A and B are shown apart, each in its own frame.
Chain A
Amino acid sequence: DGGITQSPKYLFRKEGQNVTLSCEQNLNHDAMYWYRQDPGQGLRLIYYSQIVNDFQKGDIAEGYSVSREKKESFPLTVTSAQKNPTAFYLCASSSYRGAGDTQYFGPGTRLTVL
């Protein structure tokens, strides 16, 4: 069954803790993305990676970190430096060809800070 998986579905964090959100894809896509979604707003890009061992900051990278050690995996760490981390986090992937490509999304992780 091909697709993008994210885990966990729900995550609770205490203030001051770092947490890592998992994103895995078996679509053989080169590019992967992390977005944040707040109620009633569009998706905002946190980080993206077009190739293994390389990634770039998006529009709201402060307080987040990523790694891309494997093509199929792109974990996102929400650090204690992120002041308002409660949100719905979405991972996406695309077969990057440099000409605009459809991004396919995972089911999302809802992070709540207690």
Chain B
Amino acid sequence: GESVGLHLPTLSVQEGDNSIINCAYSNSASDYFIWYKQESGKGPQFIIDIRSNMDKRQGQRVTVLLNKTVKHLSLQIAATQPGDSAVYFCAENSMEYGNKLVFGAGTILRVKS
């Protein structure tokens, strides 16, 4: 999602439910995408990545989906746990960016017990 100043979009889910976090990326030429998780006061932690020649990639409890037609990326977390509460960032990479990552502002995930 998009952020507006200090107000990051927030997703609240019940423990045990599935979570879907969305990201709209900006560059149709981007060829590599990463999801990061950032807990309060800590550095971002790599979750999963996907290259543009794929539509879907699965990890442990997480799935990333890439829709290049509408420039949309999503992160699905299965059986969400309290420890999943954090800010989630997507990042895109493109040769046009000189192979630097461009980060979205993030989405807050809150898990209710």
Q: Could you tell me which A residues sit within 8 Å of B by CB distance?
A: 4, 6, 33, 39-43, 45, 48, 58, 90, 96, 98-108, 110
**Chain B nearest CB: distance from A51 CB in Å?**
13
Q: Which residues does chain B contribute within 8 Å of A108, judged by CB atoms?
A: 41-43
Chain A interface, DSSP helix/strand/loop, else mixed: loop
Q: Which residues of A contact B41 (CB under 8 A)?
A: 108, 110
Residues of B within 8 A of A110 (CB): 41
Please encode chain B, from 41 to 81, with 1 for each CB lying within 8 Å of some chain A CB and 0 for all others.
11111100101000000000000000000000000000000
Report if A107-B42 is in contact (Cβ < 8 Å); known contacts: A40-B3, A41-B3.
yes
Which of B31, B36, B99 has the most chain A CB within a 10 Å cutoff? B99
**CB-nearest residue of chain A to B90:** A42
Count of A-B residue pairs with CB < 8 Å: 55
Q: Which residues in A have their C-beta under 8 angstroms from that of B99?
A: 96, 98-101
> Chain B, 93-113, contact with A by CB distance < 8 Å: what is the 0/1 string?
100000111011110000000
Q: Which residue of A is nearest B94, CB measured?
A: A100
| A42 touching B43, Cβ below 8 Å | no
**Contact A58/B3 with A104-B46, A108-B41 known, Cβ cut-off 8 Å:** no
Which residues does chain A contribute within 8 Å of B101, judged by CB atoms? 103
27 CB < 8 A contacts A-B: A39-B6, A40-B3, A40-B5, A40-B8, A41-B105, A42-B89, A42-B103, A42-B104, A42-B105, A43-B103, A45-B100, A58-B100, A90-B44, A100-B31, A100-B93, A100-B99, A101-B99, A102-B46, A102-B49, A103-B34, A103-B91, A103-B101, A105-B44, A105-B45, A107-B43, A108-B41, A110-B41
- Contact indicator B32/A42 (Cβ below 8 Å): no
Nearest-CB residue, chain A, relative to B52: A100
- CB pair B6–A40 under 8 Å, yes or no, is yes
In the complex, how many angstroms separate the beta carbon of A37 from the nearest chain B beta carbon? 9
